Amino acid sequence: MTALDHQTHVHAAGFTAAAVVARVGMWLRQLSRAVKNRRQVNRLGYLSDHELADIGLTRTDLAVVMRAPFGVDPTAQLSALTQERYSIEDGARRVS
């Protein structure tokens, strides 16, 4: 084994440690964002049904997304629900 081989091995181990640190950092950012977004969805629950309808949501939408696992971003689910609802409604309007 030469000195060059030994340095390459040490460099590879350092790269692996850096990758682990990067993944942990990314996971912590995702967790922080999920907690923040859950708080925002929880605050939407204080709006009246009329106010929720103004932004394209129902109280049932809020209940559905809050039942999702903790790591799932509820705002992304709300967005998907509203997009699906509007695509269905838009299709129904075109048929009439």
Q: What is the per-residue pLDDT across 42-51, written as a single tens digit (0 to 9) for each? A: 999 999 999 9
Q: Could you tell me how many helices (H) and strands (E) the chain has, helices first?
A: 4, 0
Q: Considering its fold, how many domains does the chain have in total?
A: 1
Q: Which domain holds residue 54?
A: 3-95
Confidence of residue 34 (pLDDT cuts 50, 70, 90): confident
Residue 59 above 90 pLDDT? Answer: yes
Residue 96 burial by CB count (10 A; 0-12/13-18/19+): exposed, middle or buried? exposed
Residue type (1 letter), 73 = D
The pTM score is 0.63
* Residue 34 or 5, more confident: 34
pLDDT at 26: 94
* Residue 7 or 81, more confident: 81
How far CA 60 is from CA of 2, 12, 82, 92, in Å, comes to 66, 51, 12, 22
Tokens (6 digits) for 90: 């838009």
CB 53 within 8 A of CB 41: no
